[in-house]
């Protein structure tokens, strides 16, 4: 088995493309086959090296590993030319001299008659030579039926009369998508073509091209589309669609990979799969026939799961660049890991964790005026003042800190929360935070004292 992922570098790798890549990867690894990456960059005007970079980075990040070097379609012109010659020599293709105006005219009148535009075959049997501005067309069979047993959709067939003589090579000498894909899949020995179902209409044309080449026809599988929660095709309107935007937003690669696999594929009612488990269990027969719905809550749930499973040291190294980006000094591995432990359960993404840990790093805190007004009343400040002495020299243990809260609360006849909240606001700038004794330990007595004093000076 040899599968491929064949993205066009005309945009960032998006969720749908990444899922197609993943399915091809899982399929071939499951069968002990090969998985190759082909960058379909023949359209020079729309292709950009930066997008190729993005695709490679995103696949690498997700752990979707291709075999060998990536293949660039634009560098295979010689192979495309040879196969085109073969088709011409065998009488399976012909030079067409029809002008663009004529083609436009045919199109226009077909649309006026509410018919599907199709080339009328004017040059089909004229035996014309190549000429400047001419194109190469496929002599598509006019009768019969083209059938395949789709690996996902099941049996599919098209009447050949529906298909006109497609352009294989444009006037500028470049192969069209359908011809380049067949020429490459054939010459690269691809056995299984798995791609998005937006290509279903191309498949009968491609099968006819294989038949004309007298080449073995690969198996085809078309993966149903991904829809947003509103049942419309997934697009920017539904939020981020590019893979690297998910990295940026703080998703772990194994969470996104797991999520992408479950967009269409299932194995019982299980949700959590490592890459190795997916490789072991994957099969196209367990990919659903209907569209998959992108469910961000589920992705968040998986991400929280993988965050909780990650070691503090891994999370610390993933979070460090987020702190450095804000100009914060690296507090050292040990402190970072302690910080991680206090926010690990509090954020669904690395970005959220970083946001929740921000207060540890800030030189000065900005207190929300409403919270300050409520908590830093004369009485609140009085409570806050009573923490100065006990916290001045050392960070108390969890137990000692708890006792301190209890004593202060009892002496004032209020609840523990009432004494803790002014301190929480002073130390974090927030009214919800990790445990105060953890915070005291991580910040250290000096910063704690400084923050308490700053809050005491705060004019509400
Ligand atoms: N370059 C095509 C695309 O990105 C490839 C389709 C295919 O897999 O054949 O849609």
Whether ligand 1 lies within 6 angstroms of the CB of 195 is answered as yes
pLDDT digits (tens, 9 = 90+) for 303-325: 999 999 999 999 999 999 999 99
What ligand 1 atom has the least distance to the C-alpha of 7? 4
Please calculate the CA angle 119-123-127 and round it to the nearest 5 degrees: 150
Residue 315 Cα to ligand 1 middle (Å): 36
Integer angstrom CA distances of residue 351 from 159, 247, 308, 319: 52, 9, 15, 8
Q: Are residues 201 and 88 in the same domain?
A: yes
Distance CA 79, CA 208 (A): 19
Q: Are residues 270 and 408 in the same domain?
A: no
- Tell how far the Cα of 195 is from the centroid of ligand 1, in angstroms: 7
pLDDT of residue 4: 98
235: pLDDT confidence band, cut at 50, 70 and 90?
Answer: confident
Mean pLDDT of 3-18: 97
- In this structure, which residue's CA is closest to atom 4 in ligand 1? 7
- 231: annotated active-site residue: no
**Per-residue confidence band for 402, with pLDDT thresholds at 50, 70 and 90:** very high
The number of CA neighbours under 13 Å toward the Cβ of 274 is 4
User: Which atom from ligand 1 is nearest to the alpha carbon of 198?
Assistant: 10
Find the 11 Cα to ligand 1 centroid distance in Å: 13
- What is the 8-class DSSP label of residue 57? H
Contacts 24+ apart (CB under 8 A), 394-398: 394/445, 395/437, 395/440, 395/441, 395/443, 395/444, 395/445, 395/448, 396/437, 396/440, 397/437, 398/435, 398/437, 398/438
Instruction: Indicate whether 281 and 194 sit together in one domain.
Output: no
For the entire predicted model, the pTM comes to 0.94
Q: Span 429-457, mean pLDDT?
A: 96
Is residue 80 domain-shared with residue 219, that is, in the same domain? yes
Specify whether 128 is located in the same domain as 205.
yes
Lowest mean pLDDT segment, chosen from 122-126, 139-143, 233-237, 303-307: 233-237
User: Based on the domain organization, do 162 and 235 belong to the same domain?
Assistant: no
Q: Which residues constitute the domain of residue 34?
A: 1-68+224-309
What's the pLDDT tens digit per position in 197-215? 999 999 999 999 999 999 9
40 lines ligand 1 (CB under 6 A): yes
Question: 398-404 long-range contacts, Cβ below 8 Å, gap at least 24?
Answer: 398/435, 398/437, 398/438, 400/437, 401/436, 401/437, 401/440, 402/437
Residues 196 and 145 in one domain: yes
Q: How far is the CA of 417 from the centre of ligand 1 (A)?
A: 59
pLDDT at residue 460 greater than cutoff 70 = no
- The DSSP secondary-structure symbol of 233 reads B
Q: Mean pLDDT throughout 64-92?
A: 98
Same domain, 287 and 297: yes
Report the C-alpha gap between 441 and 419 in whole angstroms.
19
Residue 9 CA, ligand 1 centroid: distance in Å = 10
Tell me if 8 CB under 6 Å of ligand 1. Answer: yes
Among the listed residues 236, 280, 289, 373, the single catalytic one is: 236
Ligand 1 binding pocket includes 7 (Cβ within 6 Å): yes
Pairing of strands 135-138, 226-227: unpaired
Same domain, 243 and 317: no
- Residues linked to residue 72 through DSSP beta bridges, in sequence order: 39
What span, in angstroms and rounded, lies between the C-alpha atoms of 353 and 348? 7
- List the CATH number of the domain containing 334: 1.10.8
pLDDT tens per residue across span 276-288: 999 999 999 999 9
Q: Which 8-state DSSP code applies to residue 323?
A: H
CA 339/CA 342 separation, integer angstroms? 5
Our count of domains for the chain comes to: 4
How far apart (Å, rounded) are the C-alpha atoms in residues 341 and 442? 11
Which ligand 1 atom is at minimum distance from the Cα of 202? 9
Q: Could you read off the pLDDT of 159-179 as tens digits, one per residue? A: 999 999 999 999 999 999 999
**pLDDT, mean over the chain:** 96
Name which residue sits closest to atom 3 of ligand 1, judged by CA: 7
Q: Ligand 1, from 2, 3, 8: best to mutate by most atoms within 8 Å of Cβ?
A: 8
- 143 shares a domain with 44: no
- The position carrying tokens 């696999």 is 261
Residues 135 and 215 in one domain: yes
Confidence at residue 238, expressed as pLDDT on a 0 to 100 scale:
86
Residue that terminates a domain, selected from 171, 199, 223: 223
Tell me the average pLDDT across 383-389: 96
User: Residue 194 has which token pair?
Assistant: 């798995």
The dihedral region occupied by 437, where left means phi > 0, alpha psi between -120 and 50, and beta the remainder, is alpha
- CATH code, domain carrying 240: 3.40.50.620
Among 287, 309, 331, identify where a domain stops: 309
């Amino acid at each position: 088995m040899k599968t491929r992922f064949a993205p066009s570098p005309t945009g960032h790798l998006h969720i749908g493309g990444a899922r197609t890549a993943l399915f091809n990867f899982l399929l071939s690894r499951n069968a002990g086959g090969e998985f190759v990456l082909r960058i379909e960059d023949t359209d020079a005007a729309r292709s950009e090296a930066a997008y190729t970079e993005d695709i490679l980075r995103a696949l690498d990040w997700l752990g979707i590993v291709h075999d060998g070097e990536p293949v660039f379609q634009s560098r295979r012109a010689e192979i495309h030319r040879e196969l085109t010659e073969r088709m011409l020599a065998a009488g399976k293709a012909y030079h067409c001299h029809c002008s663009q105006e004529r083609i436009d005219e045919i199109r226009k009148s077909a649309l006026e008659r509410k018919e599907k535009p199709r080339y009328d075959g004017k040059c089909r049997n004229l035996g014309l030579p190549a000429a400047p501005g001419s194109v190469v067309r496929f002599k598509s069979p006019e009768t019969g039926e083209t059938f395949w047993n789709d690996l996902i959709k099941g049996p599919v067939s098209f009447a050949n009369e529906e298909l006109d003589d497609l352009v294989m090579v444009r006037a500028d000498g470049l192969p069209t998508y359908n011809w380049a894909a067949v020429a490459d899949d054939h010459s690269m020995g691809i056995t299984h073509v798995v791609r998005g179902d937006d290509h279903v209409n191309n498949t009968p044309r491609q099968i006819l091209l294989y038949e004309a080449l007298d080449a073995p026809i690969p198996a085809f599988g078309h993966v149903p589309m991904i829809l947003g929660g509103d049942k419309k095709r997934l697009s920017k309107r539904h939020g981020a669609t590019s893979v690297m935007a998910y990295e940026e937003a703080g998703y772990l690669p194994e969470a996104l990979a797991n999520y992408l696999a479950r967009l269409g594929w299932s194995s019982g009612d299980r949700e959590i799969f490592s890459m190795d488990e997916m490789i072991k269990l994957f099969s196209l027969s367990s990919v659903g026939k209907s569209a998959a719905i992108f469910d961000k809550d589920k992705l968040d749930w998986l991400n929280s799961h993988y965050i909780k499973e990650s070691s503090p040291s891994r999370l610390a190294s993933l979070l460090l660049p987020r702190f450095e980006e804000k100009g914060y000094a690296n507090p050292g591995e040990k402190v970072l890991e302690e910080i991680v432990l206090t926010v690990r359960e509090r954020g669904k993404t690395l970005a959220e964790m970083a946001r929740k840990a921000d207060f540890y790093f800030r030189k000065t805190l900005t207190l929300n005026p409403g919270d300050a007004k409520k908590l830093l009343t004369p009485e609140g400040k009085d409570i806050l003042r009573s923490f100065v002495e006990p916290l001045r020299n050392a960070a108390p243990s969890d137990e000692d800190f708890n006792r301190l809260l209890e004593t202060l609360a009892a002496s004032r006849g209020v609840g523990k929360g009432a004494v803790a909240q002014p301190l929480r606001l002073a130390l974090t700038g927030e009214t919800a935070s990790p445990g105060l004794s953890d915070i005291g330990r991580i910040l250290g007595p000096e910063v704690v004292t400084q923050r308490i004093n700053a809050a005491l000076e705060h004019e509400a």
